[in-house]
Structure 1
Amino acid sequence: MRRFASVRLPAVLRSRPDDWLAAGLAAAAFLLYLGTLAPTVVTIFDDSLEFQLVTYLAGIAHPTGYPLYTMLGKLFTLLPVGDVAYRVNLMSAVFAAAAVGLVYRLAVEAARPRRGLPHLDGWPRRAGGITAAALFAVGPVFWSQATIAEVYSLHSLFVALLLRQSLTLRREQDLYRLAFLAGLSLTHHRTAVLVFPALALPLLTAHRRRLARPAVWGKMAAAGFLPLLLYLYLPLRGHIGSLDGTYENTWAGFWRHVSGGGYGVFIFGNPFNQTRGPEFYLHLMSDQFYTLVPGLIGLLYLLWFGRRAAAGVTGLAFAAFTAFNLLYRVADIEVFFIPNFLLWAVWSGAGAAFLLGTAAVLPRPSWRPAAAGVLVGLFGFIILQLGLHGAAALRQKYTWQVHDTGLDMLAQPRPGEPAAIVGILGEMTLLRYFQATEQVRPDILTVPADREADRLAAVSRLLAGGKAVYLTRDLPGAAARWSLAAAGPLIRVLPAPQTVPPDTAFPGGPVVGPGIRLAGWDWSRPVHSGPGPAPLRLRLVWQVQNPVAEALKVSARLVDINGQTVAAVDAGPVHFAYPTPAWRPGEFVTDGYDLPLPANLPAGAYTPRLIWYNPAENAAEVGRIDLPAVTLP
C-alpha cells in the first residue's frame, strides 16, 4: 500500500492528466453550484416549478414531454436531502458540473494545434481548457440554470458530449456511440438537433468510406433509434397526464405533444411582441464573458493554426444555434443561447491557449514568465469578477418567499371546510406541489384557470356547489357580483355581504374614514422560513356605515417609540380586489396587510398606524388611527 501511494499514484495522475483535470473542474463547479443552489421552490411562473412536481409524480411535462429528464428527476426525488424541490434543483447542479468537465475536454481537443507548433500544445492547451471550463461555469445565464430545476444543464451536457465525440471519432464503434448519444439527446431537448449539421461534417469527410457500407448505416440508425423508445414513457404514464391537462393519451395526442408543433408560433409569429436589435445580442454575449476578445482570438487561432475539423464543427454548431435563436421569439431567449455560450467559452479557451503558448516562446526568455503571469492574472480576474457578481445575484434572488406563500395560502381555509382555491396555473401548481410532496391540506380543491372569464365561471360553479371559495389574486368583475374578504394572502369570495362582525382579538374604534369604522383587529406572524424576521400581519375588520364614492387606499405602517416609520405598505383594500365604491352599507369587510420588517429591527413595542387616503387627490388623507402597541421579540 505504501509503495502504491508513493510511486503508483503520481504515475496514474501523470498518465491521464486531462481526466483528472476534468474531474477536478467538475467537482469545483459542483461545489460552486451547491453553495448557490435554490433552497426550495423559488419560482411560480416558469417551468422550474412544473418540473419539481412532475418529476415527483412521474407525470408528463409540457411538450415535448422530456421523458429522460423526468425519469432521472424521479430518481433524484428519492434522495434523503432537503425537500423534493431541492432534490430536483440538485439534479441540475450535477448535470451542470458534468457539463463543465466536458467543456474542458472539448476545449482541449478543439485547441489541438496542427503539426509543427509544439509551443501551442501541452500546458498552454490545458490552461486554455481550464479557462474555457471556468468561463462557462460562472457565466450568469448558465449558472442560473445550474441552480434550479431546469432542463438546460443536461442539454448543455449533451451538446458538449456530442461535439467532443464528433472530434474524437477513431474507430467504427465511435460512430455507433455518436449515433446513440444523438438519439438520447433528442429524448431530452429538441434543439439538440441543431448540433447535427456540425456532427455531419466529420462523418462526411473523414469517415466517408465507413459510411458507404450499408451495415454501418444500419447499425448507426439502430443505435440512434434505440433511445427514442424512452418516449414510450408518455403513453405508459398517460393516466397521470400533464399538469395543465392538455396531454391526450391517444396517438394524435402523443404525436402532438412529442413534436411540439405549438411552438412554431414563436418562429412564424410573434405572440409576445419581442423586438431585439443587434445590441441586445451583443450585450447578452459580452455579459457572459466580461469581454469577447479571447473568443475572437480563439476562433482565428482555430482557423489558422488549429485543426480544420475543430473550426468547422464548432463554427457550424454556433451558426445553427444562432440562426435558430434569431428566429425564435420567446421572452426567455437567453437560455436558448447557452449552447452559444458553451462554444464561445471553448473558443475563449483556444484563445487563452494561443496567447499563453505565444508568451512561452517570446524572443527574450526573461519576458516569458512575466507575460504568462499577466495573462493568467487577467483571465483569473475576469473569472473572479464573474463569480463574485453571480454568487451575489443568486443569493439575493433565491429566497423562501415562494415556499412560504404556498404554505400560507393552504393554511387559510379552516380545517374540515369544503374549500376550493381558484387561480392561474402556476399558482395552483405551487399548491399542488405541497399537497403532493408534503401532504399539506390535500382536502383543498385547486382549480387552475388562466382566463378571467374562466375564473369567474369557476367561482360561480363552486359557490353553487356549497364550496368556500378563495381567489389567489384580484379578479375583475368579482367585486360587483359578490362580497370579498382578505384571508391571509388569499381573497375569500362571499355569496352575500357579511353583516355579523368576525371574531377579532382587539376591539375597534371610531370612524376613520368617510362612513368607515374600524370594528376590530388583530395581528399575527405568518409562515416564514429562511433568514430575517417574519412579516407582521394586520387583520382589520371595517364596518361600512355609508356608501363610499371614492376609491380609497390604505397606508399601513409600523411606528417606533420615536415616531419613526420602520415598516409600511400601501395597497387597495382586500389585496386591491375590493375597492371601496363596491362596499355595501351595513357589511363588515375583512382586510389585511403584511408589513415586511427590517432584518435589524430591535425588539420592543411598536404602534400600528392606519391611514386612509384618496390617490385621485394627490394622496389626500381622509382619516387615520393609531392602534395599541404590539410587542415584537
Structure 2
Amino acid sequence: MPASITLEDAGLFQMVCQLGGISHPPGYPLFTSICQFALPPFGSSVLAGNMLSAIFASLACMVIYSCIHQMTSSMTTAVVVSLSYGFSATFWSQALIIEVYTLAVLGYVVCWRLLLAYSAKGNERYIYLAAFTFGLCLSNHWPLMVLSTPALVLGLWPKIGEFLNQLKRPIVWVLILLCFFAGLTPYATILFTPSPEIALIGEVSSVRELVPYIARSHYDVIDNQTVAGFSDKLGYLMWLTGETAQQLGIVALPVVLVGMYAGWHHFPKWMTLQLVVLLLGTTVLLAMLLNFSSEPLYHATYKPYPIIAYLPMAVWFGLGLNFLFERLHLTQAIKVLVSVVAVVSIGMGNLAQNDRHTDNWVEQHGIDVLESLPRNALYLASDSFEVGVLGYLNKVVGIRPDIELRSPDNQFFSNRLTQPFTSIEDQTEVLRDFLVHTERPFFAAGLKLEPAEYWGGYHRGGPPPLTSVVRNSKMDTAADRLLDQYDHSASLDAIEFNVVFQRLVQFTRQYVRLALTSTLTEGEGHRLDRLQRTFPGRLATLEMLLPENRAGAKPVLHEIAMEGLSDIPWQATRASHALMFEFAGHISLLPPADPESAKIFFSESTRLYPLESNKSFRVLTQLEKNQNN
C-alpha cells in the first residue's frame, strides 16, 4: 500500500475528505460523507485514506464468502472465491488507494446477499433492505451499479411469482420506494455544502444544478470523443478480453472454464445467467455505451470500471476447483491444500503490479515543483497531477502555503475568477486580464503562456521582464528522477507515463533553449543527452528546432524524427504519435524538399489523429493543391 499520494483521483479525494467539499461528478456523496467523518482525526495521512478502501475491500470479501456459502453450501468454495477475488488484479489495486470502487463492490455484494436471502426465505424485509442498499449504491457510483443491476434482478428469479404477488399490495410499493429514496439521501449533502473549498464547479445550490451534476453531463466531451469510432469499441473489447483473462492469472483460465461448465450443469440455470449478465455489464455493455478513443491512456482511465464484472471469474474459479475435487474424490486435507496453493498462486501472480509500498515518485516530484517555485508564486494547475497532487501537498499537507494554486478553467479550487460554465473565450479573457494585472510571478506547465520563460518542468509567464530560459538548479534533480522513471517506463501505466511524458517535454524545452543561447556545463550536456534519448524529449527537440530553420540542419532533424518513430512507447497517445509524423513531414519539406515522403508522413499523422486541430490536414491539402497545379 503506498504511503504517499498517487495519481488519478487520489489527491482530489484526499482534499475533499480532509478539507470538505464536493467530489467530481457524480459526486460520490456516500463515499465522501464517510471519509469526511473518518479521515480528519488522522491528519494529512495518505495511509488513512488508503486504509478506508482496504476496509471496504475486506468487508466485501466477507460478504462474498457469505453469498457463495449460501449458493453452494461449501465452506472451501466460499473461501476460495472470496480470497481469489480479493487477490484479483483490479480489485486488489483499488483496495490500496483512496477510491470509490471497493465501496461500490461492497454495496453490490450486500444487495446480492440480501436477494439471496429473499430467494431462500421469501421474507419481504430483505427486499426493503435491498432497496435501501441499492439506493446507497447509487449514491456512491451509480454508473457501475446501473450497469450491474440486470444481474441483481435475475437474483429474484427463484421467487419471481411470490415477488410479483407481493407487489400487488400498494404498501409493498410504498415501502420499497421509501427505502430506495432513503438510500439516495447522501446526495442531499451536495446541496447542503455551501461555499465548498474543493469542488469541480463550486457550490451546487439547487436541484436544477444537482441533476446534471449527478448525470455527469460535464464529462460529455470525454465520454464522446470525435476521434473515436466503431474500431475503438472493438479495440476496447479486445483489451477488456485480455484484462478479464488476466484477473486471476492466465493459468487460472482452464479452471474458470471448468467452473462455467459446472455452474451450468450442476446449479440452477438462472445462477449461471446471472453471472454472465454481471460479467457483460461493465465490460461489453460499457464499451458499447462509451465513445472514447481506444488507446492506453483511456484504457488506464477506465481500468477500474469492470471491477464488479470481474467477480464471476472468481466464482467460476471456485466452482471449477470444487467440481474437480468431487470428480477426483480428493480428501478434505488435499482439497484444503490445493485451495491454499491456488489462492496463493493468484496472489503471487498479481503481487508485482500491486506492491506499491515504495511508490513515492509522484509525491516527490510534487514536492520538488512546489519547493522550486519563488516566494508568493502563482501556479496555474491544469491536469490531474497539478490539481490533485500539488493541491493535496499545498492545501492539506501545508507545503509552501505562500504559493497560490489556481485552475485556469475555474474548476476544483474555490478561488475561481469566474464560473466554469462561462464560455472558453470569456474565461480566457478573464484569466488574461487577471494575469496582466497581477504582481505575483505566475507559472504553468499544462497551460501555454506567451511569452514564456522556461524554468524546467514548467514555465513562467510573468510579470516582465522575462528571458527565454533560466537555469533552475532546484529542478535539475527532479529532471534526473523523472528520467530514471522513464528508463523503467515499462512498469508505468499510461496515466503515470503521461505525467512523466509531459514533464520531460518541459525539461527538454528548457535545455534545448539553454543549448541555443548559452554554453552548457558537462552535467547539463549529459542531462540534455538523456532527455533527447526519450520519445517526449525528441518531440520537444523537434518542436524547438524546426522553427529555427537553420541551414544544414535537415540530416540531424531527420535522424531525431526517425529515432522517435522507431521508439514509440506503448503508453504514448495517438496525438503524440501523430505529432511525430507531422514533424517528420515538415522535415521532409526542408531543402532539398521531398514532397512525396512528406505526404506519406502527413497522411499517417491524419490517420492516427483525424481531428481538425491536427495541422497535418492543412499542410497535406496545400501539398495536394501544389501537385495539381
The normalised TM-score by structure 2 is: 0.67
Q: Cα–Cα, structure 1 residues 456 and 137, in superposed 2: closer, same or farther, change >3 Å?
A: farther
- Cα distance in 1 for partners of 2:309, 2:181 equals 27
1:338 paired residue among 299, 307, 313: 307
Q: Cα–Cα, structure 1 residues 270 and 352, in superposed 2: closer, same or farther, change >3 Å?
A: farther
Q: Helix, strand or coil: the match of 1:189?
A: helix
- Cα distance in 2 for partners of 1:524, 1:303 equals 61
Q: Which stretch shows the higher mean deviation, 452-461 or 165-174?
A: 452-461
- Cα distance in 1 for partners of 2:87, 2:366 equals 31
Q: Cα–Cα, structure 1 residues 268 and 448, in superposed 2: closer, same or farther, change >3 Å?
A: closer
Q: Helix, strand or coil: the match of 1:174?
A: helix
Q: What is the CA-CA distance between 1:96 and the residue it aligns to? A: 1.0
Counterpart contact for 2:85–2:311, Cα < 8 Å: yes
Q: What is the CA-CA distance between 1:187 and the residue it aligns to? A: 0.8
- Cα distance in 1 for partners of 2:153, 2:187 equals 25
CA offsets per residue over residues 64-115 of structure 1, 9 Å max, x none? Answer: 111110011112322437x443221111111111112222222222224xxx
1:103 matched to 2:91? The reply is no
2:22 paired residue among 60, 69, 72: 60
- Cα distance in 1 for partners of 2:49, 2:274 equals 33
Greater per-residue strand proportion: 1
Instruction: Please name the residue that 1:436 is paired with.
Output: 395
**Percentage of matched positions with identical amino acids:** 20
Instruction: Please name the residue that 1:305 is paired with.
Output: 266
Cα RMSD (Å) of the superposition? 4.6
Q: Cα–Cα, structure 1 residues 522 and 172, in superposed 2: closer, same or farther, change >3 Å?
A: closer
Instruction: Please name the residue that 1:49 is paired with.
Output: 11
Question: Amino acid of the residue matched to residue 336 of structure 1?
Answer: Y
Counterpart contact for 2:444–2:458, Cα < 8 Å: yes
When the two structures are aligned, how many residues end up with a matched partner?
A: 498
Correspondences of 1:372-383 after superposition (within 5 Å): 373=334, 380-383=340-343
Instruction: Please name the residue that 2:115 is paired with.
Output: 166
- Cα distance in 2 for partners of 1:457, 1:552 equals 40
CA offsets per residue over residues 442-464 of structure 1, 9 Å max, x none? Answer: 33222223699977974664243
- Cα distance in 2 for partners of 1:270, 1:213 equals 49
The normalised TM-score by structure 1 is: 0.67
Instruction: Please name the residue that 2:382 is paired with.
Output: 424
Q: Cα–Cα, structure 1 residues 272 and 398, in superposed 2: closer, same or farther, change >3 Å?
A: farther
Correspondences of 1:304-383 after superposition (within 5 Å): 304-308=265-269, 310-329=271-290, 331=298, 332-360=301-329, 368-369=330-331, 373=334, 380-383=340-343
Q: Helix, strand or coil: the match of 1:449?
A: coil
Greater Rg by CA: 1
1:616 paired residue among 541, 547, 557: 557
- Cα distance in 1 for partners of 2:201, 2:270 equals 46
Q: Helix, strand or coil: the match of 1:409?
A: helix
- Cα distance in 2 for partners of 1:241, 1:473 equals 23
Question: Amino acid of the residue matched to residue 180 of structure 2?
Answer: G
Counterpart contact for 1:295–1:344, Cα < 8 Å: yes
- Cα distance in 2 for partners of 1:320, 1:401 equals 35
- Cα distance in 2 for partners of 1:494, 1:283 equals 49
Instruction: Please name the residue that 2:195 is paired with.
Output: 239
Q: Cα–Cα, structure 1 residues 570 and 79, in superposed 2: closer, same or farther, change >3 Å?
A: farther
Counterpart contact for 2:135–2:182, Cα < 8 Å: yes
Q: What is the CA-CA distance between 1:615 and the residue it aligns to? A: 5.0
Q: Which stretch shows the higher mean deviation, 269-278 or 350-359?
A: 269-278
Question: Amino acid of the residue matched to residue 106 of structure 2?
Answer: L
Question: Amino acid of the residue matched to residue 411 of structure 1?
Answer: E
Q: Helix, strand or coil: the match of 1:175?
A: helix
1:404 matched to 2:330? The reply is no
Q: Cα–Cα, structure 1 residues 78 and 217, in superposed 2: closer, same or farther, change >3 Å?
A: same
Structure 2 unaligned spans of 5+ = 293-297, 411-423, 486-506, 549-553, 561-629
Q: Cα–Cα, structure 1 residues 335 and 297, in superposed 2: closer, same or farther, change >3 Å?
A: same
Q: Greater relative contact order: 1 or 2 (C-alpha under 8 angstroms, separation 6 or more)? A: 2
- Cα distance in 1 for partners of 2:469, 2:519 equals 22
Q: Helix, strand or coil: the match of 1:304?
A: helix
Q: Cα–Cα, structure 1 residues 428 and 503, in superposed 2: closer, same or farther, change >3 Å?
A: closer
Counterpart contact for 1:425–1:449, Cα < 8 Å: no
CA offsets per residue over residues 167-189 of structure 1, 9 Å max, x none? Answer: 11122222221111111111111
Q: Helix, strand or coil: the match of 1:39?
A: coil
Q: Cα–Cα, structure 1 residues 333 and 465, in superposed 2: closer, same or farther, change >3 Å?
A: closer
